Amino acid sequence: MAKGPKGPPKGKGKGPGYPSEAEPEEFLERYCLGRRSLVPSGSYRLAAHPKKSADGPPPVCEGEYYFDVATGKLQAQDSSAEKMEIGSFSAEVVNLGPMERPGDLALPVVKVCASEVMREMQNPENANAFFVLPSQLNGAEFPSHCSIVASVEEYKYDHTGGPCAQLAAHPALAQFLLHNAATHSKPAGINAARQLVSSVNASLLNAGLTSKKHTFDVVNGYLKMPVPESDEAASSVLAALSVQLQAAQLRLLVASEVPVLGLTPSKTSFSQATHRVNLVYASAVPINAYVNGIGAVSKGFGDLQLQEFQRKVAELFLVAQHLGGTADPDH
């Protein structure tokens, strides 16, 4: 299992990239980060796949990224010594209110198309569009909860939508997220569900569900769901989760105005597009997979009930994130 880079040195005092007046709560709210966990600068490198007929080595995009915690701005600097704006990173509140909107509500800003995400991101007609990327709750894309990706280079060998979308943007952004994602070795890293999980678990404790198996957790970006032993316990978990989702305890990781200067769909060259897009990182919840296996836990709450419970939890998360990602910015 790969380990990520070391963060700022531990101890008292101001760490790299931190303004002295900042408090831990501000970092948690703005970036879903613990105060001492930020990696504000680091190296990125992404090489294109070699072309069979090409002479010489394949093109490479490499340099250093720099994150300004006061503004949320990310910059990259390559060998030309000129810094480039890579966009802004933030953790936006998912403010749903009562989840009673009709299923046939028109969403004129949303369209469904059968295409390839890298091609669509780099299409000039989609300048300033919002793309909802499948990822984990830490903004990264790991093959499983037991396999941590440390470098944007590794995304080249994962052909699913999340990694491909990350590759289509400037690689400095993906590497910044990988360096800062919450993992087993970096528990205070980016975690969009940190506040939500803490609040729901506290509610369950107050309701008398004191067993650890009745709590939520985030394991290397994957949401681990409770394992209730009865219909009553399952109902209590779902009610507590719904209340905290409506109380805006879930965050949505957003990268705004990102240049699409990453790899082209063939992955043998880099895009020359001049426009920018916005990226929203949304995470599905695994059902009967990864950290959420299904096995009979009691005579009164078997496999079918547990799978239905997991489905309802997953649905709540998807609805919350996608409504947050497609919400009218003026409301």
Domain spans, the chain: 41-189+252-282
Mean pLDDT of the chain: 87
State the Cα–Cα distance between residues 325 and 91, nearest whole angstrom: 12
Tokens of 227: 């394992």
**pLDDT tens-digit map of 183-192:** 999 999 999 9
- Higher-confidence residue of 182 and 322: namely 182
Residue 280 identity: V
State the Cα–Cα distance between residues 224 and 222, nearest whole angstrom: 6
Inform me whether the pLDDT recorded for 326 exceeds 60.
no
Nearest C-alpha neighbor of 256 from the set 171, 131, 153? 131
Query: For a pLDDT cut of 70, what percent of the chain falls above it?
Result: 85
**pLDDT tens-digit map of 271-283:** 999 999 999 999 9
For the chain, where are the E strands, in sequence order? 41-47, 60-68, 73-77, 83-93, 130-134, 217-219, 222-224, 251-259, 276-282
Contact 270, 156 (CB under 8 A): no
State the Cα–Cα distance between residues 308 and 314, nearest whole angstrom: 10
State the Cα–Cα distance between residues 36 and 173, nearest whole angstrom: 20
pTM for this entry: 0.87
| pLDDT at residue number 108 | 63
Residue 251, classed as helix, strand or coil, is strand
Q: Which residues contact 193 (CB under 8 A, 6 or more apart)?
A: 137, 216, 218, 223, 250, 251
Residue 75 identity: Q
**pLDDT tens-digit map of 63-114:** 999 999 989 999 999 987 789 999 999 999 887 655 555 556 666 666 677 8
Q: What are the φ and ψ backbone dihedral angles of 108, each rounded to 5 degrees?
A: -65, -20
